[in-house]
Every structure is written in structure tokens, then in C-alpha cells.
Amino acid sequence: MNAIWQAALESIRSRVTGENFATYFEPLRFVGLDAGVLRLEVDDPFFGDWVRDHYTDLLRAAAAHAAGGELDVEIVVGAPAPLRQAIAVTGPVAEAPPEPRPAADDSQFPLNPFYRFENFVVGPSNQFAHAASESVANQPARAYNPLFIYGGTGLGKTHLLHAIAHRILERDPSQRVTYVSGEEFTNQVVKGISRQEMDKFRERYRAGCDVLLVDDVHVLAGRERTQEEFFYTFNALHAAQKQIVLTSDKFPQEIPGLEERLRSRFQWGLIADIKAPELETRVAILKRKAERDRIDLPDEIAFFLAQNIWRNVRALEGALIQLAAYASLTGRPLTQGLAREALRYLLESQDKALTVESIQKLVAEHFDVKVADLRGQRRHRVIAHPRSIAMYLCRKHTQASFPQIGERFGGKDHSTVIAAVRKVEKAIGSDPAVRNEVEALERKLPR
Ligand code: ADP
Ligand code: MG
């Protein structure tokens, strides 16, 4: 069964009753997925009509969620089961149809058609990474080499990497663009060694490659032989002036187990980070996504979602899809009450992950002071500075209000919190040391 369809089915399974699932979804057969249309087959025309009328929205939402972008769903009436089996036995007619955008050879990868620059919403949090990616895509190996993009999960690194590949291939289809995840690269090294095919491996990644895109390169850390192969690959491509783009969940200096020689090479070109998007950007991303998936999303719901889910764009998109499916299944309009109800679990788990207390603990450890001091009254800079930064981070990364933050910092007045937050905001703009400090802390926040 097709992986996207399978994932879509799984997400439907969690949203409908077992009986409904068995009645309406289990009988659907995957036929094919191409040109943005997921085709499903049923035996009975009446049944087909019924599913079409009642479940198209849900199917579309689940398919879009699974595929990471809008898909149309078409339900066709096929041959009855016995006949189908006969076809399957006799010949290739019933063979699985091709996947979308089949790879020409395995040095090409099925690019996600939605991960383009045009579909990437730019805001202050990702502006730099976006601009760097575009400039590399427009002038491979002339702008920055390598380009190293890092940021937390679900913030658009893979999206940008695919966008670079799309753009390079659009401008020059003869470019041999190799996209590989760090995980897959490791697998291929292992396979190459065990089958004594390292020559083939090297040909593929060195001579046979004009642009190398490695997603999640941090997973190479701690894998000695893979790092060694990657080191030589990197050197060969870099010397031949081939563009290299890497993504990682951390800044090179902060990847434990990464060899020094790779660490230094990762910093040869340009390093760009992606941060969690600001509220306005989150709202814009939601609206873009809703438009694409034809979900009617009232502004106040977009704001509600964006206010409550802030650290991960993937989670934000997932919440939208979930909400749309929930509304369509229950036949209720998209209201805030419905949103609250549908997203209860998601919101709870996110709230647990990042609290005022967890930020206090992190900041206290970072500056080597006591949490009690952060909550205390001492005004000495050694304490006051970490305290201000902790307040700033709480304001930015939790939903706590100024008075709530003051309360949890030992009962301080909200005006004290406001003053501290403003001071840090100003310092970030004028003092690189403070900015670096804050960014280092933000990278340590649990994602
Ligand atoms: P990462 O690789 O950093 O974990 P992804 O690139 O997989 O994250 O992004 C997760 C999802 O969020 C994708 O569906 C992607 O399209 C979407 N996304 C992330 N950032 C943006 C953005 N700025 N504009 C539009 N969509 C975004
Ligand atoms: Mg990714």
C-alpha cells in the first residue's frame, strides 16, 4: 500500500469510530497517486457516492496531512473483487501505479511539490535562512559554500532544502542534484562497505553530483566511518566548486560527537538559523495552508491556533488539519469552542513541555545561579541579569502574562517584569553578547 495513503488512513482511524472506519474506510483501495490526485477505488457505485458525499473533506484533509501538502481525492468505481483478482494473477495490469514524481534515477529524489520558495512564508524568524537559501539556489557554489541551516524540528529546514532543489532544477535541469538525509547517507555507507561497493558510492556522491543537499546532517555525529566518508565527499565537492547545503537541528559547535574537522568545515560558508516563527508569521502560514487545503479558516481561529501552538510549524499545520477534520466530521462550524475541544490534548502536551519553571531551571543552570535566586529579591547584576533573561524567555516562549510571570518569580509586580523584558529586548538589538547568550539559551529550550 502506498505510504501516503497508509498514513492518511491511520490519521482517519484516530478520528472516527471503529465501526465507521471498518464500514467506510477499510473498503477503500489505493489505486494511484499522481499529479496531486489520490485515487481510491470502491466496488459499489452507491457506496462510492456515499463516501464521496460524506467523507471527501476528511479524506482530503487526512491525505494533505500525510503528504504535507494539498491533494485531491478521487473515488472511482472499479471492477468487483473476483475480477480484480483475476487481473492481478494474469498480468501486470493491476500493478501498483507509479508514485508522484518518480525519481529519474536514485540520485534524484521525489521532491515534495509543495516545498517551494513560493510556498514558504517569510518572517523575521526565518528571513535570513530563506534569503541565504534563495541566493544559493540562484547561484550555486558562487554565493556561500557550504550553506548550513540549523533550527528546531518542524521549522522549515526540509522545506527550504527541497525549495533549493526545485529552483536549481528549474533553472538548469541538467544539474545533478543529490538530496539525501543524514540517515540515508549512513545507510549507504554501511551498505557500500558490506557489499564492497564503496567505489559506486563515491562515484555517486563525488563525481556524479553537482549539488549535494544533506538533510539532518547532525545524525552523522558519533558515526566514525560515515563521518570519514562524508569528510572526503565534502572535500571533493567543495574543491570542485559544487554547492553543498546542510541542515541540522543544532549549531555545529553544539553537535556532540561531531568530528572537529567536519565542525570546522561546516563553518566555512554561511550559517543560517531558523527560529520559531513570530505570531504574525504563524498566522500567515496557517492562512496560506488553509487556502491551499480549501479550509475555511476564520481569522479568530487562525489567531487562536497561532497563539497556542508556537514552537513547531508542523504541529501548527497538523492542528489545522485536525481541526478541519473534526469540524467536518461533527458537522459543526469552526468556532473557538470547537478549536479548544479538538486541540485539548495537543495544547496540554505543549504546555507541559515548556513552562515558566522549566525556563527558570534552564537559565539558572546556564548562569550557574540558583532558581531560588531568580525568584528572590537580590539586585546584584550576577543575579539580576539572568533573572531578566529568564523573564524575557518566559514571555516569549510561554503563554504566561506579565502578572503571571511576576507571580512565579517570587511575587514581583508586573511592571518589574515588563521593564526587565524591555531591557533584554533592547540589549538584544544593541549588544551582540546578550544576543548570543539569548540565542544559545533558546537553542536549549525543549522542542
Ligand atoms: P524541519 O525539516 O525543520 O523539521 P519541515 O521543513 O519539515 O521542518 O517543515 C514542517 C512543515 O512546516 C512543512 O509542512 C513545511 O512546509 C511547513 N513550514 C515550515 N516553515 C514554513 C514556512 N515558513 N512557510 C510555510 N510552511 C512552512
Ligand atoms: Mg526536516
Q: Which ligand is nearest to the CA of 149?
A: 1
Ligand 1 contact, 167 CB (< 6 A): no
CATH topology of domain 1-78: GMP Synthetase; Chain A, domain 3 (3.30.300)
pTM, to two decimals: 0.63
- Of the candidates 54, 46, 41, 49, the one whose C-alpha atom is nearest the C-alpha of residue 5 is 41
pLDDT for 164-199, tens place per residue?
999 999 999 999 999 999 999 999 999 999 999 999
Residue 162 and residue 178: Cα distance in Å, rounded? 11
Confidence of residue 104 (pLDDT cuts 50, 70, 90): very low
Which one is predicted more confidently, 74 or 109? 74
Residue 443 and residue 217: Cα distance in Å, rounded? 17
Q: Ligand 1, closest atom to CA 68?
A: 14
pLDDT for 48-86, tens place per residue?
777 887 788 888 888 888 888 888 898 888 754 433 332
Residue 165 and residue 115: Cα distance in Å, rounded? 10
Pocket test for ligand 1, best of 286, 314, 316, 320 (most atoms within 8 A of CB): 314
* pLDDT (0 to 100) of residue 340: 83
Report the CATH number of the 354-444 domain.
Answer: 1.10.1750.10
Confidence of residue 352 (pLDDT cuts 50, 70, 90): low
Residue nearest to atom 20 of ligand 1 (CA): 156
Q: Where are the domains of the chain?
A: 1-78, 84-274, 277-350, 354-444
Residue 34 and residue 147: Cα distance in Å, rounded? 32
Query: Which option is the CATH number for 277-350: 3.40.50.280, 1.10.10.10, 3.40.1280.10, 1.10.8.60?
Result: 1.10.8.60
Q: In the CATH scheme, what is the homologous superfamily, with its name and number, of domain 84-274?
A: P-loop containing nucleotide triphosphate hydrolases (3.40.50.300)
Q: Ligand 1, closest atom to CA 120?
A: 24
Pocket test for ligand 1, best of 155, 213, 217, 321 (most atoms within 8 A of CB): 155
Q: How far is the CA of 68 from the centre of ligand 1 (A)?
A: 9
Query: Which range in 9-18, 39-48, 283-292, 438-447 is most confidently predicted, on average pLDDT?
Result: 283-292
Instruction: Produce one character per residue of 145-160: b if its CB has 16 or more CB atoms within 10 Å, e if not.
Output: bbbbbbbbebbbbbbb
Spatial contact of 9 and 63, defined as CB atoms under 8 Å apart: no
Residue located via cell numbers 572535500: 235
